[in-house]
Structure 1
Amino acid sequence: MSEDPKVKYELEYPVKCSKPLLFQFLSTPNGLAEWFCDDVNNKGDIYTFFWGETEQKARMIGKKADQYVKFRWLEDEEAGLKTFFEFRLVEDEITNDLSLWVTDYAYEDEVEESKKLWDSQINDLLHLLGSN
């Protein structure tokens, strides 16, 4: 199998709220529909994300309460790609400051655009949380 055509990147966002509250917005259909997309349905580990008339399906491939949630787009899975997008909650051991780390993959010429999209979406999330 050839190397994945997408490149991995990570973004870090400081968050001022509790881990359980933030995790609800990252791991539940209702929470995700508040900031990530217009609506979300799920059946088992398959989540269908809606943006207007567009829909995309992803499989939840990992989750640990108040720590992380990881999804893989079904179109990437069907193409044999090992890509994913992940939300990870990281707490500084000394200051107890909470950060949200977003890991995602994009084609090399789309990475900057993808980062800007995440910045916009996470800004919406932080606004909802009263954290920005």
Structure 2
Amino acid sequence: MAGQKETIELEYILNTTPGLLFNRISTASGLSEWFADEVNIDGKVFVLRWEGSEQRVEQTVRKENKLVRYTWVDDEELEGEWFEFRINVDELTGDVALIVIDNVDVDEKDDLIEIWNRQIDTLKRGLGSI
């Protein structure tokens, strides 16, 4: 069924600090290191560019060193859709995990998981976490 959505939650253990990770997921300069080719800010909107395409998101939730949610704007197909980054620190081991929550079309789920995996690999390299 076309257009059926599913929420996915992916967890990645990163060898970094919550503060350093939060900078990479919550700022234009941080996001441009791993998430998009170029990220600019237009008011409250982050303008994301990849190989000639452009999309816009607004940072709608921000909790310092904990989570960031971005809501897609100016795109009828994605209207009201969002994705979220959460930082979780294991109390026993001190491991820092990045949890990615995204809403995906069921028929595109595997492709999107693969895209997230590649993006997070880039993030890990940038953090020296591989």
Fold equivalence (TM over 0.5): yes
C-alpha distance in 2, partners of 1:93/1:65? 18
Unaligned runs of 5+ in 2: none
Equivalents in 1 of 2:63, 2:44: separation in Å? 14
Partner of 2:123: 125
Cα offset for 1:43?
2.3
CA RMSD of aligned residues (A): 1.6
Alpha-carbon contact 1:6-1:83 (below 8 Å) kept: no
1:11 aligns with 2:5: no
Q: TM-score, normalised by structure 2?
A: 0.91
Letter of the structure 1 residue corresponding to residue 105 of structure 2: Y
Cα separation, 1, equivalents of 2:70 and 2:114: 20
Return the alpha-carbon distance in structure 2 between the equivalents of residues 25 and 54 of structure 1. Answer: 22
Partner of 1:28: 27
CA distance in 1, matches of 2:86, 2:98: 6
Q: Identical aligned pairs, as a percentage?
A: 37
Q: Structure 1 residue runs of 4+, over 6 Å off?
A: none
CA–CA distance in structure 1, aligned partners of residues 9 and 25 of structure 2: 16
Matching residue of 2:98: 100
How far residue 44 of structure 1 moved from its aligned partner, in angstroms, is 2.9
How many equivalent residue pairs?
A: 128
**For 1:6-46, what per-residue CA distance to the aligned partner results, in whole angstroms no more than 9, with x for missing partners?**
21000000011111111111010011001111111112321
TM-score (norm 1): 0.90
Q: Relative to structure 1, is the Cα distance of residues 95 and 112 closer, same or farther in structure 2, using a 3 angstrom cutoff?
A: same
